[in-house]
Amino acid sequence: MFLKLTFEKRREALRIIDLSYFGLYRSILGNFCVKERK
């Protein structure tokens, strides 16, 4: 039970990290595209 709980929490944390990294990557890519367009 405890092992399953930690696994679920770890998976949720990984999903949050993936989303934050994706947002960061998208914002950097967006800034780059805006600079290229000007």
11-36 pLDDT per residue, tens: 999 998 898 999 999 999 888 877 77
- Calculate the CA dihedral of residues 9, 15, 19, 25 and round it to 10 degrees: 120
> Rounded to an integer, what distance in angstroms lies between the CA atom of residue 33 and that of residue 37?
6
Residue 15 DSSP code = H
Q: Is the pLDDT of residue 9 over 80?
A: yes
pTM, two decimals, is 0.48
